[in-house]
């Protein structure tokens, strides 16, 4: 984790069918070596491609990359300490709608960092009762952040009104390791947890496309309430990751401790409910 190759090299290496991938050439290092278990994550800014944030236990660092013909270089352009004395950063996520906003989780707190000043913009103290494990921005609706934590809950926040979550779900029976928005239809949420379950949720009410703008046609009996669409119990062990397919809007995969990857799809009935 402490020596990070630039990802631009990755597509070639990850080409399918290559029998024995050649070792990747190292382009550059982000800073010097750091202690074991200190690095948490590296986050590439989706809006400004030259910006990378590296998340460490006690600090978050911002790097500016520059590519020259001969060599690439990285220079640290800013750093911010953890807001808590003892706390450490757990995860982070760049805001896809705002180039300079980086959401971070520090223990049970949430905060967004304005990377221009490296100061906290919005802070939610004790967003969860236990450490936060996952963050995701709504891809279609600005200022909406999804967080999951060790307190078995998944919460959706409107960062303009951060006092209470917009939605709070008791999602799993143990830690919720990750929760992500569907990239195309943000009424679908995917969560997974150490109770070895993957769950698909519907949150149409707080999505970018609120249900039934046409009030006359809306029949309350037909509109199903938000909630779980279905749980997937294919895993035997704690599930640590669940992601949506980048290409297909209805396919997702999950990975559990025992190395099992399960690829699943959204139930057709749910699909049609969204599409029609």
Partner 1 sequence: MAQPTTTPRRRRGSLLTSYYGGTTDASGAPAEASVDPLDDMNIDTDGFNAPKYVGSLLQYKSLEQLVGRGNSMVSEIKSLDSDMQMLVYENYSKFISATDTIQEMKERVDGMEGAMKALEDNFGYISRASEAVSSSFSARRGELERLNTVKKTLKKLQFLMDLPARLQDCIAEGELALAVRCHAKAVKIMAAAGKHAAGFDGIRSECEQIMARLSSSLHERLEDESLPPDALCETVWLLLRLGGREDSLLPTFLERRRKALTTAINAFTPAVGADAAADADAAADAAADAAEGDAAEAPEAGEGDGAGGRGEGLLPARAPTRSVTAEHTRQLGALVVPQLLELVAAWRDKFGGEGGGGEAEASRERKEGMLAECVGEVCGALLEAVRQLMSEEAVPSEELLEGCGELLDAIAPLHEELPAAKLQLRATRLAEGLARRSVEQQLARLGDRLSGAVEEMASPDPDGDAPSGSLHAELRAVGGTASLCVRDALSLVAPLLAPLCEQLRTRADGMALHLVQRLHAAVRCMLTKALAPRRAPRAVLLCAGCCLQMAAGGVADVPEALRQLLAPQGLAGAALGFDSAALTADFRAAADSLLQRFVEMQAQALSRHLSRRVQATDWLNCPPPNGVTPLVRTLVAELRAMQRVAASLFPSEPLKPMLPQGPFPPMTPLEQQLAVKLAASAGGGGGTASIQMDLQRIFARKVSFEAGGFDGGGKNARGREPTLGGMVGHVAKLTLKTLVEEVRCATFSKHGFQQMQVDAAMLRWVLPAAADGEPLLALLDEAFLSCQERSLECVPLEHTVLEAFCENERRSLLAAIH
**By the criterion CB under 8 A, which residues form the site for partner 1?**
129-131, 150-152, 170, 172-175, 194-196, 236, 238, 257-258
Q: How far is the CB of 258 from partner 1 (least distance, A)?
A: 7
Output Rg (C-alpha) for the chain, integer angstroms: 20
CA distance 150 to 171: 11
Q: How many CA atoms lie within 13 A of 223 on its CB side?
A: 16
Q: Which is nearer to partner 1, 62 or 179 (CB)?
A: 179
Spacing of C-alpha 29 from chain mean position: 24
Tokens of 68: 């020259």
Q: Which is nearer to partner 1, 151 or 270 (CB)?
A: 151
**What are the b/e assignments for 133-143, b being 16+ CB within 10 Å?**
bbbbbbbbebb
CA distance 128 to 138: 19
Q: Which is nearer to partner 1, 72 or 233 (CB)?
A: 233
Q: How far is the CB of 165 from partner 1 (least distance, A)?
A: 13
Backbone angles phi, psi at 50, to 5 degrees: -90, 5
253, 243 Cβ separation under 8 angstroms: yes
Q: How far is the CB of 171 from partner 1 (least distance, A)?
A: 12
Q: How far is the CB of 256 from partner 1 (least distance, A)?
A: 12
143, 158 Cβ separation under 8 angstroms: yes
Tokens of 149: 């934590």
Tokens of 164: 């209470």
Q: How far is the CB of 17 from partner 1 (least distance, A)?
A: 29
SS3 call for 74: strand
Q: Which is nearer to partner 1, 37 or 268 (CB)?
A: 37
Q: How far is the CB of 136 from partner 1 (least distance, A)?
A: 21
Q: Per DSSP, which regions of 69-171 are E strands? A: 72-81, 89-94, 101-106, 109-114, 119-124, 132-137, 144-149, 153-158, 167-170
Q: How far is the CB of 193 from partner 1 (least distance, A)?
A: 9
């Amino acid at each position: 984790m402490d020596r990070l190759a630039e990802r631009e090299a990755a597509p070639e290496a990850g080409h399918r069918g290559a029998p024995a991938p050649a070792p990747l050439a190292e382009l550059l290092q982000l800073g010097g070596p750091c202690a074991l278990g200190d690095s948490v994550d590296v986050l590439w800014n989706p809006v400004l491609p030259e910006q990378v944030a590296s998340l460490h236990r006690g600090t978050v660092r911002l790097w500016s990359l520059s590519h020259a013909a001969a060599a690439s270089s990285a220079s640290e352009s800013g750093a911010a300490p953890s807001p808590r004395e003892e706390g450490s950063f757990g995860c982070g996520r760049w805001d896809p709608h705002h180039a300079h906003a980086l959401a971070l989780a520090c223990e049970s707190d949430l905060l967004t960092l304005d990377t221009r000043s490296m100061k906290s913009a919005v802070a939610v103290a004790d967003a969860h009762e236990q450490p936060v494990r996952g963050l995701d921005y709504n891809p279609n609706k600005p200022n909406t952040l999804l967080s999951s934590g060790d307190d078995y809950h998944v919460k959706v926040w409107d960062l303009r009104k951060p006092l209470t979550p917009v939605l709070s779900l008791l999602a799993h029976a143990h830690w919720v390791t990750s929760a992500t928005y569907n990239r195309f239809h943000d009424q679908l949420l995917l969560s997974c947890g150490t109770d070895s379950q993957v769950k698909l949720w519907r949150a149409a009410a707080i999505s970018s496309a609120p249900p039934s703008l046409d009030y006359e046609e809306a029949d309350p009996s037909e509109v199903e309430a938000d909630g779980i669409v279905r749980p997937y119990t294919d895993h035997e062990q704690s599930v640590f990751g669940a992601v949506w397919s980048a290409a297909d809007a209805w396919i997702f995969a999950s990975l559990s401790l025992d190395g099992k990857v399960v690829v699943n799809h959204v139930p057709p009935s749910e699909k049609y409910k969204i599409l029609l």
